[in-house]
């Protein structure tokens, strides 16, 4: 990931408060990740970020993923903020895949009895 890949930046005064990263997928598809500084969070004063992405599976429906995270300092580079959000999302996905795999296995056990 490179700094110039953080697109659609939103500035408030001179501070970047939002940007978008497009992750390249197979078959020239892209996954959009929107990052926004949570300015309503007074507890973390300019360090709370929210990353949102939408999945539109081929079988229909839309899944919205929203990951909230806090950076350790206000002067963290945007590229690091994006990396932190993506790594947190990757961890979340791995946990979700594990849970769905367990559910799939359990359903298979129950349905095999019929």
pTM value? 0.84
For residue 34, the enclosing domain spans 3-112
Question: Which residue's entry shows tokens 């995270």?
Answer: 69
Distance CA 56, CA 63 (A): 7
Q: What pLDDT sits at residue 64?
A: 93
pLDDT, tens digit (0-9, with 9 covering 90-100), for 61-76: 888 999 999 999 988 9
User: Cα angle at 18 between 79 and 89, to 5 degrees?
Assistant: 60
Q: What pLDDT sits at residue 113?
A: 65
Beta bridge partners of 53: 65
Number of structural domains, the chain? 1
Q: What pLDDT sits at residue 57?
A: 80
Task: Reply yes or no on whether the pLDDT at 112 is more than 90.
Answer: no
pLDDT band at 36; cut points 50, 70, 90: very high
């Amino acid at each position: 990931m490179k700094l110039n890949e953080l697109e659609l930046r939103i500035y408030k005064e001179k501070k970047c408060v939002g940007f978008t990263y497009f992750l390249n997928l197979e078959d020239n598809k892209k996954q959009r990740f929107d990052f926004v500084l949570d300015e309503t969070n007074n507890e973390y004063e300019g360090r709370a970020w929210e990353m949102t992405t939408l999945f539109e599976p081929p079988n229909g429906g839309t899944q919205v993923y929203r990951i909230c995270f806090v950076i350790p300092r206000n002067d963290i580079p945007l590229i690091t903020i994006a990396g932190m959000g993506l790594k947190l999302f990757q961890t979340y996905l791995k946990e979700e895949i594990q849970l769905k795999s367990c559910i799939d296995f359990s359903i298979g056990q129950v349905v095999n009895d019929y």
